[in-house]
Structure formats: structure tokens, C-alpha cells
Amino acid sequence: MRFDVVVLGGGLAGYTAAIALLEKGLSCALLSVGQSSLHFSSGSMDFLRALPDESQVFDLEKGLHDLARQDPGHPYSILGPEKTLELAKKAETAFASWGLEMLGSLSAGNHLRLSPFGKLLPTWLSSKDTVFIPADAEGRPEWPWLKIALLTVKDFLDFNPEIVAAQLKAQGRATSCHMFTCPDLEILRQNPSEFRSVNIARVLDQESNRPFLTEAVKKAAQNADAVFMPACLGFNRPQLAMELSKEAAKPIRLIPTLAPSMIGARLNNQLQYQFLKNGGVLMSKDRVVDFNLVGDQDDSSGSSALTIERLHTENHGDIPIIAKDHVLATGSFFSQGLLSDIDGVREAVFGLDLVNVPESRSDWALGEFFGSQPFARFGVKIDAQTRPFLKGRVLANLKAAGLVLGGFDPIRQGCGAGVAAVTALAAAEAILS
């Protein structure tokens, strides 16, 4: 089967690259072995939160230039701060035109979001129904509300209101806790291990349960400036929190829960919808099992490029998938884009060259769990056109994007979604040029 481009991986990076290419009129297929890490993320998109010297970033443009000096192997630094900035702005416009309603912008700098434990975290873009707190130039919160009501679902375990309330109080917010349930939730709760955010949202999104929701929200809003709820509503109805805000005449805002994340899953589905709407061909639950390279494989100088001629996948068997260009966006260990075993670490599809993998296995991880883990920086090596390498040789018709790349720590540096979006658009640009 022939396409202009085949994208491997259905996460933020894969969909972003694919939709950008479809919009330019290229035909595009996307293969994915399973759902992406968006389902576990906060649903806020982080761009750059901290530098290697541990300083926090709020002015993103300045942060990128500091990063280029301190961390030249970071994908942002490889693309260069100017290019990164240009692509990130493009991403903001693209996301908006794809119907992802996000607040925040590069020019305004990082704002603050709440973690599931109520901690304030700097971030780039947040869905418009989540708690969005502007920050001043030093990163101090500029709270729009003083009195906050925390409204939770009874016996929901992936969100702890007491811990969040304590954090909010420490921020000088007068916080009250409220709880509600409804008969359908009581049925769902009989199965405690499935009483999770998205499953609850699918119940609360139903019109028949709206009266319970409205009543609970109105009650909680009575003596508050705003109501915060764990993100377990609005999965199929992204406007639900906004509609409730109108009814209660107070802002109703969501806080991400522990995984699975309703906000992240919703982003994933919105991207998939855009992909299909633009004519993309989705190949779910499929993976490359074999590929064919052309070019002088034994070129000892290593100067000539190799090209991928065709792919063979599990579902398509003897019918090859043939594309002029390819994007690898298969994620990291979590999504199995990178694999590790006793012999080492490898990129799962092509066995591409990796960066930052120490010789000795004992150097892969630190004893301190929350420390800056070396394995977080493992990943595929790219050049400024996002082209990866195989045994030192450039693969001319392959680009790599997102978490499969090496050289950055998405958690410590707070840059996961930003790297995915920027490198995906860089890959699309490289293909189009």
C-alpha cells in the first residue's frame, strides 16, 4: 500500500506530524500499537520548566537561549532556539485550529497548573476547563480567586481532596471540601478498581445525570469564588465544565487526577478525530515487523545515506507499506518505542543509534527515585533536520520526533509535550522541504 508518508506512533508527536502533513495535501497513514502516554499525562503541555542548573523557567524565550548554552544535546538546542520558538508558535496556532481549546502562550511565558496533589507547576498550555493560574515574571502565582470549594466524587481514589486542600491553604486560599455521588456512580463504584477518572466521566457526561451534577456544583459554589473538581467529567462533552460554570455563576475548573488522565485521553481523541477528518488512514494495533533498506550498506566511509524502501507490518503481512517518507514517533520505554533488557537498550523498530546510554548498566539509574534519572535521557540521536542515524549513517527518508528522542528529561526539565510538538512540526517541515 502506498502513501506519501507513514507515521509510526499515535501520540502527541505522531498525530501532530501527521495532521500537519495532511493539511499540506500529503497522503498519510499512521500506525500505532496501542494508546499513547497522553492517557497518563496531566493534559497540560509543558514546554520548559527547569534548566540543568535547577533554575526555574518563566520567560520561555530566554529559557531556550540559556538551555542552548547549558544543554547543547537537548532537541531544542539541536534545532536551535530561534527555530524552536518559531515552531512552538506554529504549534499554538495549529492546536487552536484543530479544536484543542488551550489557554497559555509562549509570549505570555509559563503559567501555573495544579498537580493531582495540589502542587503548583509551571506549564505552557492547559485545557480551558482546567485550573489556570497566571504567574508574574518571577513565577509567583497571581490567584484570581480567594475562596475555593473543592468538590469531589465520593470514594474516588485517584484524587485526594485533603492533600490538595492543605496545599491550597498554604497558598493562602480559603478552601472548603465537598463531596457528591449519584445512583449511576454507586453502581460503577461496586467495581472499585474501575472507579477511575474516564469511567466516571462517561457516567457524569450523560444527560440523565446532569441534575445531580448541577445541584452539587451549585451547592459547593455558594460560598466560594470558584469550584475545583477532579478531572472526571467532560470526556465526551468538552464544554461540560463551562456549561456548569454558567449554571453556578462561578468558574468550575478541573484538576488532573492520577492516571488515567481524562484530560490527556480527551486530547488524544481530539487529535485522532482531526487526523481522520483530514483524510488520514489509521492503522490501529499494528507494528512494523520487517523493513527493507536501499543504499550502499557497506559504505565504510559512512558518507552516503540509506533509504527505507518498504515496511512489512503484523496486520498487512505480505502486502508492503511503501512511503516516500516516514516519521518515527513511538515514544519512550513507557510506550515501548525504546526497549531495554539485560543486553542493553535499543530503539524498537529500526535499531537506530541512541545517545546518552552509559557503557555500564549500573549507570543507567540513580538510587534516588525522584532524582534526575539517566535513563530518562536515553533515546534516538537526530540532526537539525530530525533525521536519525543507523550505525552512523543518515536515514534519508526517516524523521524522528517526540519522546523516542534522546537528550532530554521530560519530567525533570518539564518539556515533554513541547519537545513532542516542536520536533513533530520540524519533522513535517523537513519532509515538505
Partner 1 sequence: MNPLLMTNFEACTKCTICTEYCPVSEVRPAYPGPKQSGPDGERQRLKDAAFYNKALKYCSNCKRCEIACPSNVRIGDVIALARKRFAGPNLSPRDAILAHTDFMGTMATMVAPIVNYVTNIPLTRFFLDKIVGIPAWRIFPKYSWTTFRAWYFNNRPDQTQFAEQVTLFHGCFINFNNPSLGQDSIRLLNALGVGVRLLARERCCGVPLISSGFFGHAKDNALSNAKNIAQALTKTERVVCPSSTCSMTLRNEYPDILEVKNDSWRDRMDLLIRHVYRLMEKGRELNFQRQEIKVAYHTACHMEKLGWSAYSIKLLKLIPGLQLTILPSRCCGIAGTYGFKKENSEYSQKIGAPLFQSIRDSGCDLVVSECETCKMQIQMSTGVPCENPVTILARNLV
Ligand X SMILES: Cc1cc2nc3c(=O)[nH]c(=O)nc-3n(C[C@H](O)[C@H](O)[C@H](O)COP(=O)(O)OP(=O)(O)OC[C@H]3O[C@@H](n4cnc5c(N)ncnc54)[C@H](O)[C@@H]3O)c2cc1C
Q: Which residues contact ligand X by CB under 6 A? A: 8-14, 31-38, 40-42, 44-46, 287-288, 329-331, 334-337, 348-349, 402-403, 410, 416-417, 420
**Is position 70 an interface residue for partner 1 (rule: CB under 8 A)?**
no
Q: Which is nearer to partner 1, 36 or 130 (CB)?
A: 36
Say which entry of partner 1, ligand X, none residue 9 contacts (CB below 5 to 8 A, set by partner kind). ligand X
Total residues interacting with partner 1, rule: CB under 8 A: 42
Q: Which is nearer to partner 1, 90 or 189 (CB)?
A: 189
Say which entry of ligand X, partner 1, none residue 166 contacts (CB below 5 to 8 A, set by partner kind). none
What DSSP line would sit under 216-284, residue for residue?
HHHHHHTT-SEEEEES-S-SS-TTHHHHHHHHHTS-EEEE--SSSPHHHHHHHHHHHHHHHHTT-EEEE
Applying CB under 8 A, among 85, 229, 263, 283 the residue interacting with partner 1 is: 283
Write out the binding residues for partner 1, residues 190-229 only, by CB under 8 A.
190-191, 193-194, 196, 198-199, 202-203
Q: Which is nearer to ligand X, 289 or 366 (CB)?
A: 289
Closest listed residue to residue 127, CA positions, set 261, 254, 20, 271: 254
CA distance 22 to 18: 6
- The answer to whether 403 touches 410, Cβ cutoff 8 Å, is yes
What DSSP line would sit under 11-38, residue for residue?
SHHHHHHHHHHHHTT--EEEEESS--GG
Q: Output phi, psi for 307, to 5 deg.
A: -130, 150
Q: DSSP code of 363?
A: G
Residue 347 CA: distances (Å) to CA of 267, 305, 350, 355, 405: 26, 19, 6, 11, 10
Site string for partner 1, 25-64 (x = CB under 8 A): ----x---xxxx--xx------------------------
Say which entry of ligand X, partner 1, none residue 44 contacts (CB below 5 to 8 A, set by partner kind). ligand X
Torsion of CA 40, 332, 123, 235, to 10 degrees: -30
- Candidates 181-189, 242-250, 290-298, 370-378: pick the segment binding partner 1 (CB under 8 A): 181-189
**Is position 380 an interface residue for partner 1 (rule: CB under 8 A)?**
no
Taken in order 128, 130, 131, 132, is the CA torsion positive or negative?
A: negative
H-helix or E-strand containing 178?
Answer: strand 174-180
Q: Which is nearer to ligand X, 40 or 364 (CB)?
A: 40
Closest listed residue to residue 124, CA positions, set 164, 167, 94, 92: 92
**Is position 335 an interface residue for partner 1 (rule: CB under 8 A)?**
yes
Applying CB under 8 A, among 52, 139, 141, 260 the residue interacting with partner 1 is: 260
Helix (H, G, I), strand (E, B) or coil at 382: strand
**Is position 258 an interface residue for partner 1 (rule: CB under 8 A)?**
no
**Is position 188 an interface residue for partner 1 (rule: CB under 8 A)?**
yes
Say which entry of ligand X, partner 1, none residue 416 contacts (CB below 5 to 8 A, set by partner kind). ligand X
**Is position 187 an interface residue for partner 1 (rule: CB under 8 A)?**
yes
Write out the binding residues for partner 1, residues 90-129 only, by CB under 8 A.
none
Say which entry of partner 1, ligand X, none residue 175 contacts (CB below 5 to 8 A, set by partner kind). none
Give every CB contact of residue 385 below 8 A, 6+ residues apart in sequence.
399, 426, 430
- Candidates 105-113, 171-179, 281-289, 348-356: pick the segment binding partner 1 (CB under 8 A): 281-289
Q: DSSP code of 305?
A: P
Give every CB contact of residue 417 below 8 A, 6+ residues apart in sequence.
12, 41, 44, 45, 46, 47, 124, 125
**Is position 403 an interface residue for partner 1 (rule: CB under 8 A)?**
no
Q: Which residues bind partner 1 (CB under 8 A)?
A: 1, 29, 33-36, 39-40, 184, 187-188, 190-191, 193-194, 196, 198-199, 202-203, 236, 259-260, 265, 272-273, 276, 279, 281-286, 314-319, 335-336
